[in-house]
Structure 1
């Protein structure tokens, strides 16, 4: 495996062979005011290689960390509020859309923020996302389920920018050599938001009512917007400033066709994944229609991006570069595997070991510390060594061993193993996210770092959704086939047998409520189905590890001016 360090990947060598010339043209394409973004002549030297003085950098970075925290918090804050809100608004039938609306808009719009920020500037776009986030939370305080769902969708638009633009802006301000450490802390804040969202929602509801769980986020989002307005600055020549010209000139540079096709394709795909196997059957015409529509939209998007005279909303041509494609595939398959075991290990605890939610929650806490340690640790390693390929190899070994450990789960495992079961995989996943992000950014000039970040978020968003959807189909199919095989041989009464199978498919905790003479058989069925699902998780991670072997190592610069 070639691991030659590209001493200066941003310089264009026009003496390369014809095979490489297309790649060179891609990386040297003109882009208005920041045509030579890597030749920034700002004040980074006096700031120790950073784009801002340290005192102002602390304020901006802290604000960006809170952006990541808020976006994650709002994604999970409704986990303990769904039934409360639905009951208060007399709308149990639409309860799931309270959570789905935010996740749909957030995931679908994440990929387009990179290119839009290249045109309009990062600062104005991030402040705009904070406004959308605050507005969405404000609308969620309405007394109508329709408005709550609309508010969640609007908040998701803002939340998508809070996560994506945070990552992009940090790359504009922080040298690549130190970038991994800052990304590690960003991931930790995001993980903290995910972990505390449900607790925050429950506590606020108990003391003030569920509407305040949304309302209290509004002033915080506004304070963030004000802080960023006065403190966020970019050095002269930075791609974070956006392209020059008046608003109409900038608007003319937006690839509206590509943006519409991409967002529509993602919305249709994510909708299919969200309702498939739950509200509609996988074999139903609506589900098949949504899948075919998403394939058509993505195919049209790829064609349109290949023929557009504008700079594409996502530079698909970058995927011809080995490191970009390998990093994207690594992210995609790792994420599919990780989200699968994150959903189905708790189901194993419920259905096979009969644990309550408190016990399960306690066993998931170490995973949060593992993800924080893995991300920050990867950043510290890259800061000290300036390399990441060997780290990716070690992470791959840890991921495979960790998933094998999860796959070997059984009802008799010790408490120590239960509490540490997800720890190795949490370390590996958070570490690979940080390492692959650095590999993506380092493989292209600074003027393309927003585009590659968008590519990363696109693969992660679709990977998580597809992982959950495919694993759900595997679980349901495996469980149904096993139940149909075991239960009729134990229960002679056909009506009773059908009744037990029906309820076992509807509730993973049914084994503890079923007649005693079938409880052992039901737990065996659940265990079989979960193990099949975890095998899918393991296969995904192995493919992700294989893809990571093709990542090439590039230089992690110690200054935002990559010529130094």
Structure 2
């Protein structure tokens, strides 16, 4: 297992750097007004890849063995490296020439200390949000200790960037630009909203309709399709008009409608038409991903494109974990309390009620074993929990819309 974890750290580091690097290359090779269109094509390719990766990996694991899910990636990566070497033009540094110093001098310019403090600080803050309520209770000393350590490490990161780093890994002066802050906020909130929704939707159909994992997961396809269409339309809009603020505001409003409909209409008996309510949520996120990238690039000095884009992509995993943790915390707080109240109305209390609540929250297939009367109240309690879970996504979409409204609007030149 440790080999798998270390390998995932290495591949995750490369994957994260690849997304930022691809975005920077696009901004260097294309006019800013066309960047959204090219970024939308990149998002479509990435979406298709993510959609195919799971089924293909599962097929390989079921047939020739899971190891080939890893071995099979090697020739794809090698092909990509050769293609990049042959096709991409040579890009120079912002000074206009490649530094000729020694490798030691080049390495000395890298802000390793800032990177360590930033990475470990974010990890220390996000890890308790990921494990609290699942692996350990929220009141556990581990949660508080990790939060304190994270705050100390981020403070050290700020001091390092302000006092010691010659070339900071993330220049803090960027945060004095309100459009940069709003761009990060929009990206983080939209990501948190969609990830929270994608956490809840499969579970909702497993609970209310007893769908299989495959069928429940398939209910997420409208959101994935919405991501793709939203990104493509936004790219076309910005390329045609030169304006990016309108798509950002519209994306927040559309996402708000999605989560509001799910709160109001998903009461346990959801037909195929109402299951499409998640489409506008994915559509809004797809619009935001494209428009906010262009908005960020338009708000900064070209010399800061790489670090600003890296910061933007950093908000995606942060938003994902915050969205997942928030929705999970709300679900675990509301559902057991609602179930306990319903069981009391059936005359079930004490140890028996505690056993039912423990079983119902631990595994969905308990619904197949429980008496019909108990199963009905369990489903009702879950639905109530989902309503509050979607409320977290709704709040995130409101924050994203507010940030979009506060951004400065400008027309991009050709």
TM-score category by the smaller chain?
A: over 0.9
Equivalent position of 1:414 in the other structure: 271
Q: For the residues of structure 2 that align with 1:527 and 1:376, how far apart are their CA atoms?
A: 34
Within 5 Å, give how 1:482-497 maps onto structure 2: 482-492=338-348, 494-497=350-353
Q: For the residues of structure 2 that align with 1:472 and 1:240, how far apart are their CA atoms?
A: 49
Equivalent position of 1:478 in the other structure: 334
Which SS does the other structure have where 2:167 is aligned?
coil
Q: For the residues of structure 1 that align with 2:92 and 2:82, how far apart are their CA atoms?
A: 22
Equivalent position of 1:233 in the other structure: 89
Q: For the residues of structure 1 that align with 2:96 and 2:311, how far apart are their CA atoms?
A: 17
Equivalent position of 1:107 in the other structure: none
Equivalent position of 1:542 in the other structure: 398
Q: For the residues of structure 2 that align with 1:271 and 1:235, how far apart are their CA atoms?
A: 37
8 Å CA contact retained: 1:491, 1:497: no
Q: Provide TM-score, normalisation by structure 2.
A: 0.94
Identify which of 219, 226, 234 aligns with 1:363: 219
What runs of 5+ residues in structure 1 fail to find an aligned partner? Answer: 1-144, 559-564
Equivalent position of 1:110 in the other structure: none
1:123-175 CA-to-partner distances (Å, cap 9, x unmatched) read: xxxxxxxxxxxxxxxxxxxxxx3322222222222222222211122112121
Is 1:319 the counterpart of 2:175? The answer is yes
> Residues 523, 237 of structure 1: CA spacing in aligned structure 2 closer, same or farther, 3 A cutoff?
closer
Identify which of 36, 40, 43 aligns with 1:184: 40
Q: For the residues of structure 2 that align with 1:510 and 1:437, how far apart are their CA atoms?
A: 45
Q: For the residues of structure 2 that align with 1:512 and 1:298, how far apart are their CA atoms?
A: 47
Is 1:379 the counterpart of 2:235? The answer is yes
> Residues 257, 146 of structure 1: CA spacing in aligned structure 2 closer, same or farther, 3 A cutoff?
closer
1:350-379 CA-to-partner distances (Å, cap 9, x unmatched) read: 223322223323322222211111011100
Equivalent position of 1:160 in the other structure: 16
Within 5 Å, give how 1:42-81 maps onto structure 2: none
Which SS does the other structure have where 1:254 is aligned?
coil
8 Å CA contact retained: 1:234, 1:241: no
Per-residue deviation at 1:346?
Answer: 1.8
Per-residue deviation at 1:413?
Answer: 3.4
Equivalent position of 1:279 in the other structure: 135
Equivalent position of 2:300 in the other structure: 444
Identify which of 506, 521, 538 aligns with 2:377: 521
Identify which of 213, 221, 225 aligns with 2:77: 221
> Residues 557, 510 of structure 1: CA spacing in aligned structure 2 closer, same or farther, 3 A cutoff?
farther
8 Å CA contact retained: 1:442, 1:555: no
Q: For the residues of structure 2 that align with 1:510 and 1:251, how far apart are their CA atoms?
A: 56
8 Å CA contact retained: 2:201, 2:220: no
> Residues 482, 246 of structure 1: CA spacing in aligned structure 2 closer, same or farther, 3 A cutoff?
same
Identify which of 196, 201, 205 aligns with 2:57: 201
Identify which of 193, 197, 203 aligns with 1:341: 197
> Residues 309, 523 of structure 1: CA spacing in aligned structure 2 closer, same or farther, 3 A cutoff?
closer
Per-residue deviation at 1:493?
Answer: 6.5
Per-residue deviation at 1:486?
Answer: 2.1
Equivalent position of 1:506 in the other structure: 362
Per-residue deviation at 1:216?
Answer: 0.3
Q: For the residues of structure 2 that align with 1:517 and 1:209, how far apart are their CA atoms?
A: 44
Equivalent position of 2:152 in the other structure: 296
Q: For the residues of structure 2 that align with 1:557 and 1:234, how far apart are their CA atoms?
A: 26
Q: For the residues of structure 2 that align with 1:243 and 1:190, how far apart are their CA atoms?
A: 33
Identify which of 95, 103, 108 aligns with 1:247: 103
Q: Provide TM-score, normalisation by structure 1.
A: 0.70
Which SS does the other structure have where 2:219 is aligned?
helix
Moved more, 504-513 or 432-441: 504-513
> Residues 500, 167 of structure 1: CA spacing in aligned structure 2 closer, same or farther, 3 A cutoff?
same
Q: For the residues of structure 2 that align with 1:329 and 1:456, how far apart are their CA atoms?
A: 9
Equivalent position of 2:184 in the other structure: 328
Is 1:553 the counterpart of 2:409? The answer is yes
> Residues 193, 268 of structure 1: CA spacing in aligned structure 2 closer, same or farther, 3 A cutoff?
farther
1:6-64 CA-to-partner distances (Å, cap 9, x unmatched) read: xxxxxxxxxxxxxxxxxxxxxxxxxxxxxxxxxxxxxxxxxxxxxxxxxxxxxxxxxxx
Aligned residues: 413
Per-residue deviation at 1:390?
Answer: 2.0
Q: For the residues of structure 1 that align with 2:335 and 2:270, how far apart are their CA atoms?
A: 22
> Residues 184, 403 of structure 1: CA spacing in aligned structure 2 closer, same or farther, 3 A cutoff?
same
Which SS does the other structure have where 1:454 is aligned?
helix
1:54-94 CA-to-partner distances (Å, cap 9, x unmatched) read: xxxxxxxxxxxxxxxxxxxxxxxxxxxxxxxxxxxxxxxxx
Equivalent position of 1:16 in the other structure: none
Which SS does the other structure have where 2:273 is aligned?
helix
> Residues 246, 173 of structure 1: CA spacing in aligned structure 2 closer, same or farther, 3 A cutoff?
farther
8 Å CA contact retained: 2:201, 2:219: no
Per-residue deviation at 1:190?
Answer: 1.8
Q: For the residues of structure 2 that align with 1:242 and 1:456, how far apart are their CA atoms?
A: 26
Q: For the residues of structure 2 that align with 1:428 and 1:242, how far apart are their CA atoms?
A: 41
> Residues 298, 235 of structure 1: CA spacing in aligned structure 2 closer, same or farther, 3 A cutoff?
closer
